[in-house]
Structure 1
């Protein structure tokens, strides 16, 4: 029997378990995928604790995860464009990607380019659509300056690269250990912490036009203090401040259809125009250890599970 991550109640990392489940059977329009890699995300931890239960209600026992890449195992009636053995990238709308086998709507899949690794492909959806949506939402133009907080994290590391592709000057807030990586991708690194406003002003003497907050913890207020207009600020982490000040929380909603975004980003990665840093890879059975590392919030890039 295939194995999958499950939990029976809201709680901390200790509620997670890996157990045997019934083999899924694809229905009309569904594809059964043998998962080769599944990225993990902070949003999944928030869902599991119940912190966002009003937005993302759970039915127990619950699975976990959206990101996935794998090989088509079976196809349901009415599926076109995918065949058994195809290598695919996709997302699971029922939060069940952290498993050996998972069912995916055919419309939520795209073909994986041969030279994109399983780890990168399997961690692309959440960060990809979120980063693309955040960059789209602040409507960057060539010659403008944007600041991105959490610039070396999962979403941030993609957002800085996508922002650079608009022709904007990008200032990335990150710990000094990640500054060389940022410089190597055409980003001006600035250390976060006390005095960050002065350091941003020194790096952007003509002012800041837009701000993307991927971390939370006061960056919306910082953006406003720097003179950025509310409609040029997007946060994916501080919804209370967004409601208070009227800034954007578009994230993935401004990205466009998920499968199309996956295809676009996978193509950029395959052509060497985009990089997804992989921080660590864990076997599925070590899901608790993977989320322990994730919740420290100091990783550069993505943490991935390999069933």
Structure 2
């Protein structure tokens, strides 16, 4: 089968298309013939080598979510899964291939009215956005700022905050065109990447959902209202400064809170319940799966280059 591997850490040119043996599902796993593979910000971070210490070595097949048809099952798995269209979470990688093995506990049947491309656009991003807002203890009537709102998680966080009754949903993004698209998804104010601008935007926010991190992250503590909460769900701009906590300590009397969130801490059954609801909502047209572009699997380098260049609005999808 064709697969994408990280031949060398660094830029997109370090990715390569290779032929690998078709994997066989072990006990508790299924084999999925992919129709669509999602490309997310975490894939670019892994490709850069920033997560090498976590076991993502050169030669790694990236890709954490796939959607397609189950073609085989391992021991202990109900054979009725064979032939069914599913979404699957591969976890540590292996999804960027024509076929992937996935634990049966990490698959979810696809509704007939949801495409495979839409499934890998919503599958992980929607769950992260949902639980990030919950982690921030967001309640209706509060103000929300989504930093880095044009990516897959950000697009979902904007929609969910607006549908959840936020008094205002501000976004940071890189262009007026992206701002206009985010407004159509529920944003009420559009700020530049530094958090400036936005006519009528609140000076402070109850909740900030941050997908970016990086050197500028501490400056957004100034944007938090008293008792405000910031939740970081991504580091697409790299790690924040090591001393970022001093900024919060300087604002001690405002009782600010900072947290990180990973969906790994949520039981798979709970994640599936939220994901199933979101898939159904997308099928009814109540939630938008924003697909930036669909490219062939062998154009993974192009997909990653567009991610690195900040061109992507929503999610890029690869098709074997």
Runs of 4+ that moved beyond 6 A: none
What secondary structure is seen at the aligned counterpart in 2 of 1:248?
A: strand
Q: Is contact 2:28-2:75 (8 Å) kept?
A: yes
Partner of 2:69: 71
Q: Is contact 1:231-1:248 (8 Å) kept?
A: no
Deviation per residue, 1:93-148 (Å, 9 max, x gap): 24101111110100000001111122111233332232223212211111111111
How far apart, CA to CA, are the structure 2 residues paired with 1:198 and 1:153? 20
Partner of 1:189: 189
How far apart, CA to CA, are the structure 1 residues paired with 2:149 and 2:259? 18
How far apart, CA to CA, are the structure 2 residues paired with 1:81 and 1:264? 25
- 1:247 counterpart (258, 262, 272): 258
Deviation per residue, 1:40-97 (Å, 9 max, x gap): 112112212211222x213453211101111011111211385211010111024101
Q: Is contact 2:290-2:315 (8 Å) kept?
A: yes
- 1:226 counterpart (209, 223, 226): 223
Compute the displacement of 1:34 (Å).
0.2
- When normalised by structure 1's length, the TM-score is 0.89
Compute the displacement of 1:185 (Å).
2.6
How far apart, CA to CA, are the structure 2 residues paired with 1:182 and 1:7? 33
Q: Is contact 2:110-2:119 (8 Å) kept?
A: yes
Q: Residues 139, 4 of structure 1: CA spacing in aligned structure 2 closer, same or farther, 3 A cutoff?
A: same
Deviation per residue, 1:177-221 (Å, 9 max, x gap): 023322223321313046x44537x3226x421111122345533
Compute the displacement of 1:3 (Å).
1.1
Partner of 2:278: 265
Partner of 1:210: 207
What secondary structure is seen at the aligned counterpart in 2 of 1:209?
A: strand
Partner of 1:4: 3
- When normalised by structure 2's length, the TM-score is 0.86
Q: Is contact 1:145-1:210 (8 Å) kept?
A: yes
Larger mean CA deviation between 113-122 and 218-227 belongs to 218-227
Q: Is contact 2:65-2:95 (8 Å) kept?
A: yes
Q: Residues 6, 171 of structure 1: CA spacing in aligned structure 2 closer, same or farther, 3 A cutoff?
A: same
Q: Is contact 1:32-1:104 (8 Å) kept?
A: yes
Name structure 2 gaps, 5 residues minimum.
Answer: 246-256
Q: Is contact 1:153-1:299 (8 Å) kept?
A: yes
Name structure 1 gaps, 5 residues minimum.
Answer: none
Q: Is contact 2:218-2:240 (8 Å) kept?
A: no
